Chain A
């Protein structure tokens, strides 16, 4: 069973690399913000999978919840800033 979860972790890390390509390469700055949102979703799923591997789901779920809320605040700050600055 642990092999399956290791496979899941490796797949999610590879997907994070794909989104990282979009963050580095993206033509506009909004592509980078979208890529960061995608990476944070993967990170939340990654946290829950880690909790399942280590049998400490209740702790890792709390970490994931905090990460989701911080991600919301960060995305709002960046979006508001870019909206008022105009076209990059």
Chain B
């Protein structure tokens, strides 16, 4: 299932145009036409490169993925808060090497970003598919090492998880 060039072009244009609508705040004809032309131009320049992270980007499923990520953030924030407010500061920092099996480059970007956004783990280095992750605790790293986040992202990008 590869969306054709016009379908991707329309999706990117609509995503850019909605940002324009929110940021501009003026809804007369002149500004609407100007914004539509600008988003068409930017989308036309940025569509059709197969190596780009935005190639076949699933906008809708990424929006569906964000509430799950928010729950993870709340959970690990509470864990980190307990660690910081504990008087004896029981942290055990470790460096973890993690090999991911995702193929889409946007998926790799999103995985690194989610790992850094979740408190307790931070991506130190990304080299191809290999992640070097600094975790403050074993409990904070469990989400990544058990592969939950990667399975969720594989669902977002519709890739097969059996590797």
Contact = CB atoms under 8 A, between A and B. Distances in A.
Contacts of B23: 62, 65
A58 B22 CA distance: 10
Interface in B7-29: 23, 25
Nearest to B25: A58
A82 to B, nearest CB: 15
Interface of A: 58, 62, 65
A65 to B, nearest CB: 8
3 contacts: A58-B25, A62-B23, A65-B23
Interface of B: 23, 25
Contacts, number: 3
Contacts of A58: 25
Give 3 nearest A-B pairs by CB, closest first.
A58-B25, A62-B23, A65-B23
A34 B23 CA distance: 29
Nearest to A65: B23
A17 to B, nearest CB: 19
A60 to B, nearest CB: 13
A58 B25 CA distance: 9
Nearest to A62: B23
A10 B106 CA distance: 41
A67 to B, nearest CB: 15
Nearest to A58: B25
A65 B23 CA distance: 10
Contacts of A62: 23
A63 B23 CA distance: 12
Contacts of B25: 58
